């Protein structure tokens, strides 16, 4: 069986594991750990507090600092509606592989595992790192980063295989995710002044976020990203129980994608002042914000050995993307980091997500080139 067919077979197995972030990834992580150990890797599994989620680190080559990390996440977003076939059963048609997670990002992970025997012969350390809960705040990568700081070894280079159509990406924005909750006082809708309407508080908050989004646009009208400014997006608002009941509870789920830390700090200062004014104007109103994740962006840097190494293999010019990844976490540990992986981000998080076979083949060629240079 060719390496490509091995990767396809493994991708089929991986897609069959419905590793949506609200479910365990243990079965998939343990299956991959067993396979990689059989290929000569030193394998470690790191569970979260619940024991249901695992980070996997499989290392080849010498036990030393430096070397290369190939980084992917095991979790996927919920399949949602509108699929033409079972999202957790790989469907092969017209040069494409359909299934949840095929491009984001089990295709890259499958390619790495299929190429593991090549990495076993490298003279430099090579680490395959597969994390949990990237889609809900990079929780696994953040936990693993703490372990690497304490225990090492710390790789020198990191390639994160997010779908970039095999283009080398050297920078992206940060991704900060929050849920802001409002607690009021419910009551009969016929006497609104006797209650504290949390739904209306949530609506006012959403409008304040919209105004802040316009401020951010004015702060950076030009830049290297598309769009160049930091963005704010409201994803979900939930409130109340019935139209004739004053809403006692409400929440707003929202995100911010800053270009730099100064923009995130500006938004936080403005919201702190806004919330203080809301509490003063509406005594008894409770406002609490839960930080779902604050993931740093990937900063483009003049010196980046990972970028230069990959450009020597796949060619082209480095680019930038607006979506967030785990790359900023690895960069903060001192690694030179880039994105490069099979598939198109336009297919991620959608019904009938797919990965083109030629993209998977190109990823295997890239990994083969890396092994040769290492």
> Would you name the residues annotated as active-site residues?
75, 134
Concatenating the DSSP letter of every residue in 212-225 gives HHHHHHHH-SS-SS
CA-angle at 187, arms to 183 and 192, nearest 5°: 90
d(CA 30, CA 62): 23
- Contacts of residue 358, defined as CB under 8 A and 6 or more positions apart, other chains included, come to 95
293, 75 contact by CB (below 8 A): no
């Amino acid at each position: 069986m060719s390496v490509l067919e091995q990767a396809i077979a493994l991708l089929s197995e991986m897609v069959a594991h419905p590793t949506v972030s609200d479910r365990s990834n243990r079965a998939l992580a343990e299956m991959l750990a067993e396979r990689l150990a059989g290929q000569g890797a030193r394998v470690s599994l790191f569970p979260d507090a619940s024991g249901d989620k695992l980070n996997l680190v499989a290392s080849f080559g010498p036990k030393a600092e430096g070397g290369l990390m190939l980084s992917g996440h095991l979790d996927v977003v919920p399949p949602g509606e509108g699929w033409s076939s079972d999202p957790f059963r790989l469907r092969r048609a017209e040069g494409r592989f359909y299934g949840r997670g095929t491009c984001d990002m089990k295709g890259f992970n499958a390619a790495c595992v299929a190429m593991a025997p090549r990495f076993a012969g490298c003279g430099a350390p090579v680490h395959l790192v597969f994390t949990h809960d990237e889609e809900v705040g990079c929780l696994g990568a953040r936990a693993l980063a703490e372990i690497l700081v304490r225990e090492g070894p710390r790789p020198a280079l990191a390639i994160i295989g997010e779908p970039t159509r095999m283009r080398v990406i050297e920078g992206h924005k940060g991704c900060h995710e929050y849920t802001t909750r409002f607690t009021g006082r419910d009551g009969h809708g016929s006497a609104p002044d006797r209650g504290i309407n949390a739904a209306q508080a949530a609506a006012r908050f959403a409008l304040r976020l919209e105004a802040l989004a316009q401020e951010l646009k004015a702060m950076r009208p030009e830049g290297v990203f598309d769009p160049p400014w930091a963005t704010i997006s409201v994803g979900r608002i939930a409130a109340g129980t019935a139209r004739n009941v004053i809403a006692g509870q409400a929440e707003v789920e929202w995100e911010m994608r800053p270009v730099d830390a100064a923009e995130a700090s500006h938004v936080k200062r403005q919201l702190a002042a806004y919330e203080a004014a809301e509490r003063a104007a509406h005594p008894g109103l409770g406002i609490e914000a839960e930080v779902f994740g604050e993931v740093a962006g990937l900063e483009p840097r003049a010196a980046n050995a990972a970028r230069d190494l990959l450009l020597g293999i796949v060619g082209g010019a480095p680019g930038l993307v607006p979506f967030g990844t785990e790359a900023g976490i690895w960069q903060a540990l001192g690694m030179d980091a880039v994105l490069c992986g099979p598939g198109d981000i336009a297919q991620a998080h959608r019904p009938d997500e797919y990965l083109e076979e030629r993209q998977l083949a190109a990823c295997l060629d890239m990994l083969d080139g890396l092994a040769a240079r290492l």
